[in-house]
Each structure stands twice: as structure tokens, then as C-alpha cells.
Amino acid sequence: MTVESLLEQYQGHIVPKAYNAGYLALSYLISLVGAASTLELITRRSWFNGISNHLILCSSAITMGGIAIWCMHFIGNIALTLAEGEAEMQIVYSSGMTVLSFCMPVIVLLAAFYAIGISNRIAWWRVITAGILCGCAICGMHYLANASIKNYQCIYEPAYIVGAAIIAVAASTVSLAMFFIFQSLSASSWWKRTISAIILAGAVSSMHWCASVGTQYRLLHLRKLERGSRTATAIAVICLSFSACIIIAGSAILRARILKDAALRAQQIELAAIVFNKDGCLLVDSNGVFPNTVVTDFFIGENTDEKFNTAHPQFHWMFQASRNWTGISGLINGMKQHLRQLPHKSRHKDPTKGIQLIDDDGELIDGYSVIFRELFCVAASKLSDRLDESITTMGILWDEIITKRSVANPAYLQALEKHRDYQTSDTSEILRKGSTTGESHLEKGVGIELENEIDGRGALMFLIRRLTSDDEVKRLEAAGYRFVDPVQVCNDARNHLQMQIPSSEFESKLRDMKAVISQQGRIKPGVHLGLFAIQDRGLDNHHVLVQKDARDLLPLAPLPISTIDEKQVRIVQGLSGFQVPEVIQRLRTTGASSRSPDEELFAHYLSNAIHSLREWVQEPLFHDAVLSPTILRLPYGIDGGDAEETVIMALRLKISHPVISSGPNCQWVPLNFFGMRQVLEQSRQEFVRVLHQDFDPSTMPASRANNELTSGPLSTLRRLKGSEGSAHSKGKKPRVPIMRLRASSKDSTRSSSTINLCPAESSEAHNERLPSTDTVDVYPPEQH
């Protein structure tokens, strides 16, 4: 028909319509791609604030509003054929209204996604609100786009408008509810996101075709032919959809890589160098973070209850090793050579990376404990190389371990679980415990339990020291490092190293490190009253209460006397075994035991010391402590000299239940670590002797070169560690490495070891004593 005939036949009349099945299917596919892209992007959102997260939210609104709704609408209208398909009879749009129809759903959906994602908790009113907004965006875009038609007047049937709106709102609400609930429960795995995307795309398509069936078109004027205009529209929409596919694929690949790296980093044991200058400023690199390196990718215990912490014998060995770098420095090359000879999963220039710590039978590699120690020493050597200095000047290991940050993101936890499955595949049932129970936790949405189960082994250790030379400072600054206020480092370091503690608390940790290397908190000569409080946490996991600023010292209160004589010792013996209230009452009973004036003065001093100690410790169970008959004599002063004597009397307290926290001046530390520190100087020579004997390459047995650690290194393990490794894992009380102890006689009242402050005999059931021990020799206290 001619143009004039068409105009005469249809102008002012309703034009018949038909639909092209191919374009109809393509419109749904386009909507599905947009919906899937939207849900994939929302899954990428890690938190509710931050520029990147806001950009993800905006991108989600664009892919949903611009592709799933807007592109679907125009592809769907291409599927609409009016009259007999003549080009002059097809729909033409107004540019201005078309742009507006694109922006409107994007803005509304941005509000919807923000409403539903404002909190980590899914509330039904948010889901319903978002569903209503999403449905309104779909309907609004459809009718706003119809209003942009220039050559037809659209006539709507109210019933179809209502039906289309109900379909859009209901299907959108169901889809979003499924998606966000799935996400909160189990990271919204791909097949669940696919189901949600299918329903969401169905909401858009169903609403469109329901509304389209209820729409009639009255011709106003014929369309001016523009060559290729309909094809250009289809091409533009397909390009947008293809871009969305690229977004999905790229996002998935990037996400998998990020989660894999995060999962690896979360369980790594790392070693950092904390270096202060004379002004107390902290050394950082160009990124504003102190130098750090990886010791090992993950720590494997003999059972799931074995964690790497300050109570672990491996940490005790490292603590001693960091105070004997001179003896270790000559053995580093031999350690590196041995690590190169171990089986690796893949080739690395760095011999410490990719070591296969689990053999083909699912068992820990022979000599794992020794290998772990070598990895620590080599990591320290890496730090020294990075700072271009000798390992002998790297400083000492700090007496705390900071655990890695716990992440509650279920998707991250799934990645960590999969990473652990890969690392420990074909291992024993114990090592597989975390992965076999992980899926059930994920499906049930129990995030906290899973987090504690598989995300608690990553740790950060610190080598600390203070520079005393301006030349050292200038050399490091010339190498690209700088010294800044520690406060400036806390936020960046916490984020970069994934530490679990808040920035303010890490600032306090840095102050503690500075105090340690300044040798603050050393015990002064004279007479002191101490509190030897033991906490039994089960499975022989004993902790002792120590000073927070000097964790190798018990809580002490000084008496204003320089020494103690035999009469004063008899007073202490006469009060031994009594609880604090009874001790104070007897001390304050003037003349009850015909004391001399000097003895009365000592009783007064001792009573005041008990009061001072109670106020300083702030332990609620302090009144249950009993006075010990054991008196500790240290024949050295604050600098380890023998000019003056230090005398310690002690109150003993045994707590048989876990204590959550202590006062502001004290904290609980593992008893075996505290005991090791008491004989640290005593064991130094023995440690170096055994170290050289078993790690010297010239004496290394041939079996070691063949990756069989059956002689030299294991002999080190036996001598330095004894049976502590197996005892630790089996629930037996581990022995302190390199401690030469002997039992003390029952009637002994003097000792040179703080371990002997809690003798075995007891008259009170609730103040059970630990076995008494005493050192053979007396050495000065720990030096830094």
C-alpha cells in the first residue's frame, strides 16, 4: 500500500498488532542478563559505606534500571509489529522522554537497593519496600517510555494496568527477598542468584507483556523513514547487554581472586619489624606500613584445638631465638638450603613459598616443628635484607601475638574454607574437621561459629628494637623509609595487615613495645609482696596473672625495708596457709604474740602491702588468696648486679574457672611461657650450644639432605622441646623448653624461682597448689 492509502486507512483508528517470537525471547534474555548483572554487583558490596561500595550500588541500579528494564522494554517494542509490518506504521520515540525513561528507574532502584542494603540484618519491611519501589520502577518506566511515542496515542485498559503493577511488585518482592535472604544465609551461591535473576527478569517481562496486551495504539501520523533506525536500536541494546555480560564475568573472576588472596592472607603467620628512633617515631615504608613478611602460609596443629599462640612451644623457641641472633646468623644459609630441598607444590625462587607441609598420605611432613622454626629464622633474615642490615640487629620478639581480623562476610568464609580444603586435601579426619562441618554451618547461616572454626589461625608477630645511632636513621631514610608518629600508622597498618584489634588498641600495643625495648618495669631491689594467681582454663591450660607493663613479672607491692631477717621470716611462716582477711586480722592484732617493736613494724608494713596490692590488682577473688611460706631471694638488683638483694613474699591464688578479664594493671598469660621467661638467661648458653650442634651445615647428616629429618633436626627437637609437642596435643601439661628444674623439699621456705611460689601441699581445697620446682642455678633476669 502507498503512504497515502495507509494514512487514509488507519489515521485516527486503532491499528492491529502482532508480536515477533524471536524478539520476544531476546527481550527476556536481555532482561535476564541485566538482572543477573545487578545481583552479581550487589553481592560484590562488602559493606554499607565507602566510595567503592557506593559505586557498586549505583552500578547495580544502572544495570537493573538501564538494561533489565529499559533495554528489555525497547527490545520488546521492536517485537511489536503494527498493521502489516510497514515501516511507516512502526513506533517512533521522542528523544527527551526516552532519556527520562532511562533515568527514572535508575533513581528509583537506587533508593530501593539502598533501603534493603542499609543493614546487615534483613528486615521484611525493607524487603517489601524495595519490592514495591522496584515494581514501581518497572511500571513507571514502561508507561513513561510509552509516553515518548510520537506517532501513536496509547489507549490503556485499567484492568491490565492493575494486573501489570501487581505482577511487577509481587515478582520483584519475591525475587529480592529470595536473593537477600540467600545472601544473608550462605553468600548467595551462583545457582541461587540465578534463580533470583530468573524471577526478577520474569517480573520485568511479565509486567511488560501484560501491559502491552492491554494497550491499543491509535495512529496520529505516519513515521518518517530513517534508514536502519530499528536495527541501530537493537544493536545499541545488544551492546549494552554484552557489556553487562563482561561485567558479570570480570566481576566473578576478580571476586574469586580477591577472596582467594584474602583467604590465604587470613591464615598466614607473618613477622613484622617495629623499629623506633630515639624520638619514639616508627619506621614505615613508602606505603605507610612497617616492614613485614610471611613466615608460613598456614599453621597446622596436630589437632583442631592446637592454636599458635604465646602458650605454644614453637613461640617459646622463637622467643629464645630472637635473643640469640648472633648464634643463628651463621646458620641461615643452611636453613635456606634445607628448605629448598623440601618438596614444593610449584617452583618458587623463594624457598619458603609453596612448601608441601602435608605428604601424600595426608600426614604432616617429617620434622614439621623444625621446619617451622627454620621458616621463622629465614623470615627474619628477609626482613634484615629488606632493611639492608645484619640479622643480629633485628631486635627481639615481642611477647604477644596479634591475631588476624575476623571477617563475617559469608562469601569470604566460603573462600577460606575452600582454600583450606585445597591446602589440606587428603589429610586426616582431624585436619578435615573444619571443612566437613563448614557447609552445614553455611547452609544454616551460622556465621559466628564458622568464623571461629576456620578463621582463627592467622597471626602477626613483631621483632622490636630502638635505633640508638643517627647514622642508622639516615641510612634507612636514604633507602626510602621514613619515621612517623605511631598514631598515623595504626589505621593503615590495621587495614593492610588485617589485624583483629581496633586502631586505638593497636596504638596501645605500640606503646607497650616501646616500653619493652626501653627496659621499663624491671623489678627493683628490696622486699616485695607478690600475688601468684593461677587460672585453670581446663586441659592443663594454666594462666598466671602478671603486670601488664612487664609480663615477666608478677604483681608486686614494695615494703619500705631493704631485707628480711629470720624473725620476720617466722612471722610469714606463722601466717602461711591463711586467707587474706585472716592474715590482715592477725597482723593487726597488736601484742597477740608478744612481738617486738621491729616485728610490729614489719607486720604493719606487710598489712599495708596487702592493701596496696589488692587495690592495684583489682582482682575480685583476691580475698581467697593465701600467704605462701615460700620466700624468693634474687641475689641481683635492677641491672642484674649483686650489690643488693631482692626478696619476694607471695600470696597464692588458684582460680578453677575461666576469668574473662583482669584489672587495668594486670593481665593473664600462659604459665608455661611465664616459666620459660624466668630461666631465659639461664638457658641461653645451652640453647646456642644445641642450636649449633644440630643446625650447623658441616654436621648436618646426609639423611637431612634427602628430606628425611630423622636425625639432626629431630635431635634438636628432642633436646630443646623434649616431649612437649606430643604432650601439648594430647592434653598433658607441656614442659618448658631448656629448663633445668629439680623438686624442692617440702619444708623449704626459700627459693630462687617464682615457679616455686605455689607448693604442692595444701590445706584448703579451693587453693590447690601446683608442684614445687626450683632452679639449679641463679641467673640475672631477662635482658633486652
Task: With a cut of 50, say whether residue 146 has pLDDT above it.
Answer: yes
Closest-CA residue to 134 (of 86, 180, 98, 75):
180
Domain positions in the chain are 17-258, 268-406+456-517, 526-666+739-775
Closest-CA residue to 213 (of 163, 168, 170, 172):
163
Which grid coordinates belong to 752?
A: 630462687
For 630, residues 6+ apart whose C-beta sits below 8 A from its C-beta are 650, 748, 749, 750, 751, 756, 757, 759, 772
φ/ψ bin of 540: left (φ > 0), alpha (ψ from -120 to 50), beta (otherwise) = left
Model confidence at 210, in pLDDT bands (50, 70, 90)? very high
Q: What is the pLDDT of residue 47?
A: 53
Read off the amino acid at residue 291: P
Q: Average of pLDDT values for 226-250?
A: 68
pLDDT digits (tens, 9 = 90+) for 601-650: 999 999 999 999 999 998 888 989 999 988 888 765 444 444 567 888 88
pLDDT digits (tens, 9 = 90+) for 12-57: 888 899 998 888 998 999 899 888 888 878 777 655 555 667 777 8
Q: In this structure, what DSSP letter does residue 63 have? A: I
Task: With a cut of 80, say whether residue 593 has pLDDT above it.
Answer: no
* Cβ contact 419:229 at 8 Å: no
In the chain, the largest separation of any two C-alpha atoms, in whole Å, equals 135
Where is mean pLDDT largest: 107-116, 625-634, 718-727?
Answer: 625-634
| b/e map 32-57, b = 16+ CB within 10 Å | bbbbbbbbbbbbbbeeeeeeeeeebb
Q: What is the pLDDT of residue 497?
A: 64
Taking residue 85's Cβ as centre, other Cβ atoms within 10 Å add up to 10
Q: State how far the Cα of 275 lies from the Cα of 465, in Å rounded to an integer.
A: 5
Q: In this structure, what DSSP letter does residue 203 have? A: H
Task: With a cut of 70, say whether residue 508 has pLDDT above it.
Answer: yes
Residue identified by cell 501487581 is 166
Q: What is the pLDDT of residue 684?
A: 82
Q: In this structure, what DSSP letter does residue 590 have? A: T
Which grid coordinates belong to 141?
A: 518506566
Q: What is the pLDDT of residue 119?
A: 54
- SS3 state of residue 191: helix
Q: State how far the Cα of 301 lies from the Cα of 424, in Å rounded to an integer.
A: 12
* Cβ contact 545:671 at 8 Å: no
Task: With a cut of 60, say whether residue 318 has pLDDT above it.
Answer: yes
Model confidence at 156, in pLDDT bands (50, 70, 90)? very high
Task: With a cut of 70, say whether residue 695 has pLDDT above it.
Answer: yes
Q: Average of pLDDT values for 332-360?
A: 80
φ/ψ bin of 783: left (φ > 0), alpha (ψ from -120 to 50), beta (otherwise) = beta
Q: What is the pLDDT of residue 203?
A: 87
Q: State how far the Cα of 666 lies from the Cα of 621, in Å rounded to an integer.
A: 14
* Cβ contact 446:391 at 8 Å: no
The H-or-E segment that residue 413 falls in is: helix 410-423
Which grid coordinates belong to 56?
A: 557498586
- HEC string for 321-356: HCCCHHHHHCCHHHHHHHHHHCCECCCCCCCCCCEC
Q: State how far the Cα of 327 lies from the Cα of 507, in Å rounded to an integer.
A: 33
| Summary mean pLDDT of the chain | 75
pLDDT digits (tens, 9 = 90+) for 164-180: 999 989 988 888 787 77
Which grid coordinates belong to 84?
A: 502489516
Which grid coordinates belong to 46?
A: 562488602
Q: What is the pLDDT of residue 382?
A: 94
Model confidence at 405, in pLDDT bands (50, 70, 90)? low
Taking residue 320's Cβ as centre, other Cβ atoms within 10 Å add up to 21
∠ CA 703-349-286, nearest 5°, is 130
Q: What is the pLDDT of residue 475?
A: 92
Q: What is the pLDDT of residue 130?
A: 84
- SS3 state of residue 480: coil
Model confidence at 185, in pLDDT bands (50, 70, 90)? low
pLDDT digits (tens, 9 = 90+) for 265-309: 778 889 999 999 988 899 998 878 889 999 988 888 777 777 888
Read off the amino acid at residue 374: E
For 729, residues 6+ apart whose C-beta sits below 8 A from its C-beta are 301, 302, 303, 306
The H-or-E segment that residue 731 falls in is: none
Distance of CA 332 to the CA centre of its chain: 30
Q: State how far the Cα of 337 lies from the Cα of 713, in Å rounded to an integer.
A: 14
∠ CA 588-594-598, nearest 5°, is 70
Q: State how far the Cα of 101 lies from the Cα of 338, in Å rounded to an integer.
A: 68
For 44, residues 6+ apart whose C-beta sits below 8 A from its C-beta are 56, 251, 255
Stretch among 113-127, 189-203, 374-388, 390-404 having the lowest mean pLDDT: 113-127
Q: State how far the Cα of 576 lies from the Cα of 626, in Å rounded to an integer.
A: 7
Q: State how far the Cα of 395 lies from the Cα of 459, in Å rounded to an integer.
A: 19
Which grid coordinates belong to 260?
A: 582467594
Model confidence at 592, in pLDDT bands (50, 70, 90)? low
CA distances, 266 to each of 53, 405, 440, 490, 775 (Å)? 22, 7, 22, 19, 41
Q: Average of pLDDT values for 390-400?
A: 92
Of 246 and 543, the structure prediction assigns the larger pLDDT to: 543
Q: Average of pLDDT values for 323-338?
A: 89
Q: In this structure, what DSSP letter does residue 637 have? A: -
Of 434 and 476, the structure prediction assigns the larger pLDDT to: 476
Of 513 and 700, the structure prediction assigns the larger pLDDT to: 513
* Cβ contact 11:220 at 8 Å: yes
Q: State how far the Cα of 193 lies from the Cα of 180, in Å rounded to an integer.
A: 9
Q: What is the pLDDT of residue 678?
A: 84
Q: What is the pLDDT of residue 496?
A: 61
Q: What is the pLDDT of residue 523?
A: 74
Strands 646-655 and 526-536, sheet pairing: parallel
CA distances, 217 to each of 6, 88, 261, 429, 711 (Å)? 15, 14, 57, 70, 92
pLDDT digits (tens, 9 = 90+) for 66-98: 888 888 888 888 888 888 878 788 888 888 888
Task: With a cut of 80, say whether residue 474 has pLDDT above it.
Answer: yes
Stretch among 142-156, 292-306, 767-781 having the lowest mean pLDDT: 767-781
Model confidence at 191, in pLDDT bands (50, 70, 90)? confident
Strands 152-156 and 215-219, sheet pairing: antiparallel
Of 702 and 568, the structure prediction assigns the larger pLDDT to: 568
**Which string of DSSP letters, residue by residue, matches 684-713?**
HHHHHHHHHHHH-GGG--HHHHTT--SSHH
- SS3 state of residue 368: helix
Q: What is the pLDDT of residue 397?
A: 94
Q: What is the pLDDT of residue 751?
A: 43
CA distances, 460 to each of 163, 199, 265, 693, 755 (Å)? 60, 46, 11, 30, 29
Q: Average of pLDDT values for 320-329?
A: 90
Q: State how far the Cα of 240 lies from the Cα of 68, in Å rounded to an integer.
A: 10
Model confidence at 697, in pLDDT bands (50, 70, 90)? low
Residue identified by cell 612481738 is 595
For 647, residues 6+ apart whose C-beta sits below 8 A from its C-beta are 526, 527, 528, 563, 564, 631, 632, 633, 634
Q: State how far the Cα of 512 lies from the Cα of 619, in Å rounded to an integer.
A: 22
